[in-house]
């Protein structure tokens, strides 16, 4: 929702701001985050069109500087298309440790202001500052301006801030303030703010829902708000219709929830060339499972459901799941199920372009391992945790399954765009 590229801009020109009384929700969104971190690391790139993209021939744009965006380059766009749109762009590979370092510092700053911080990703978060204003001696907009200055002074990257009475309005406002701006949506001006926006600004409206709304004659938020609810229900379904009309009428009762529990943990890979070889796919599946299980153990989580994701050459994507008898964080147990799902749902000699595995229905805490009657001494759980400790101390290649010791070049991983 509120995809910033589709929103009208209201650049920050300073001067008097609207009354921010009752606008305790802030949405802070870093500007072209990965790209600006790369420029910070390489100052000679300042002012140039910079594109952060994976090295795969099927890679996607993870981030683009605003200079590159003037040529139509956008996040999630195929890198090959970005090169055609902007041949003079400087393409750089992602450096995730740098992004994580900056993100950690920014989130720490947020939590020094209020404990009510809800991160959405590395580069954006909601803050509820209502209970901190008296202590800080600031208004919500003043807090937003202070955050912008602190982020730039400490990390040499910019951010945009939306200030509003609700999460929905604050997120839209930060997108409209980009880049490097701040926009206040007054408590008594939410409807005026929302009315002229396109229906794509509504939370949950993608291409299909937008098309359905257009068929009803709804192209703006105001038209959705004015459409009889029964008509929306017939076109969108009951839940979606009621949700979208509530937002269109300015109703959003969601609170800022700090540290929302994770719903799943996983990993996926997009191959440079479609892969049909079952042995190669098994090796990649093992690699993905090892990475996923190690993440579970590092975060103190276990999962009950194993999900396998396959994408075929025509971009058809399927996900198949199986629920275990008890939660696990063990790679051996996950691989057994994921391997069976692969055998059942991928016909022999059929090629795929993407393979992924996820663990869902997560629970916190380390669990015991069910051993077989003939198993003596330490179990697989202890062995995997010992391997985790060795990798943490000596690097990722210190301990790995023998199957992966001579597995040839790895397919390119497709990271998520910012």
Give me the active site residues, please.
124
Pairing of strands 117-121, 124-128: antiparallel
Other beta carbons within 10 angstroms of residue 307's beta carbon come to 21
Question: What is the rounded distance in angstroms from the CA atom of residue 358 to the CA atom of residue 266?
Answer: 4
CB burial string 216-225: b at 16+ within 10 A, e below: bebebbbbbb
Q: What is the DSSP letter of 411?
A: P
Integer Rg of the chain from CA = 24
What are the angstrom distances between the C-alpha of 213 and each of 165, 194, 199? 27, 16, 8
CA angle 339, 403, 363 (to 5 degrees): 50
Its sign, for the CA torsion 165, 108, 99, 408, is: negative
Pairing of strands 25-30, 124-128: antiparallel
């Amino acid at each position: 929702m509120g995809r910033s590229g589709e929103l009208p801009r209201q650049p920050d020109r300073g001067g008097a701001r609207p009354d921010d009384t009752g606008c305790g929700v802030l949405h802070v969104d870093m500007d072209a985050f990965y790209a600006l971190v790369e420029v910070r690391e390489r100052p000679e790139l300042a002012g140039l069109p910079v594109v952060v993209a994976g090295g795969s021939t099927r890679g996607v744009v993870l981030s683009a500087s605003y200079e590159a965006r003037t040529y139509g380059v956008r996040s999630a766009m195929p890198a090959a298309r970005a090169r055609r749109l902007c041949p003079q762009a400087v393409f750089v590979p992602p450096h995730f440790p740098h992004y994580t370092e900056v993100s950690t510092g920014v989130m720490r700053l947020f939590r020094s202001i209020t404990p009510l911080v809800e991160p959405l990703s590395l580069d954006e978060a909601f803050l509820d500052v209502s209970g901190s204003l008296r202590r800080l001696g600031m208004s919500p907009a003043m807090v937003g301006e202070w955050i912008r200055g602190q982020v730039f002074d400490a990390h040499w990257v910019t951010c945009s801030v939306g200030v509003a009475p609700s999460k929905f309005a604050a997120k839209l406002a930060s997108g409209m303030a980009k880049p490097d701006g701040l926009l206040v949506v007054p408590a008594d001006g939410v409807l005026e703010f929302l009315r002229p926006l396109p229906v794509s600004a509504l939370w949950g409206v993608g291409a299909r829902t937008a098309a359905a709304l257009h068929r009803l004659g709804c192209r703006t938020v105001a038209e959705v708000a004015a459409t009889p609810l029964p008509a929306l229900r017939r076109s969108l379904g009951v839940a979606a219709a009621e949700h979208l009309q509530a937002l269109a009428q300015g109703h959003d009762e969601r609170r800022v929830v700090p540290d929302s529990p994770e719903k799943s943990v996983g990993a996926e890979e997009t191959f440079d060339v479609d892969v049909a070889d079952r042995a190669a796919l098994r090796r990649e599946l093992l690699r993905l499972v090892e990475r996923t299980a190690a993440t579970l153990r590092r975060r103190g989580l276990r999962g009950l459901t194993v999900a396998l994701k396959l994408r075929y050459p025509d971009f058809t994507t399927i996900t198949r799941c199986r629920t275990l008898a008890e939660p696990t964080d063990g790679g051996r147990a996950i691989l057994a199920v994921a391997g069976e799902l692969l055998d059942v749902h991928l016909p022999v000699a059929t090629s795929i372009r993407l393979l992924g595995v996820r663990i869902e229905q997560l629970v916190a805490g380390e669990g015991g391992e069910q051993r077989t009657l003939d198993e003596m001494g330490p179990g697989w759980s202890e062995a995997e945790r010992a391997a985790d400790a060795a990798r943490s101390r000596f690097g990722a290649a210190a301990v790995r399954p023998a199957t992966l010791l001579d597995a040839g070049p790895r397919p390119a991983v497709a990271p998520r765009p910012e």
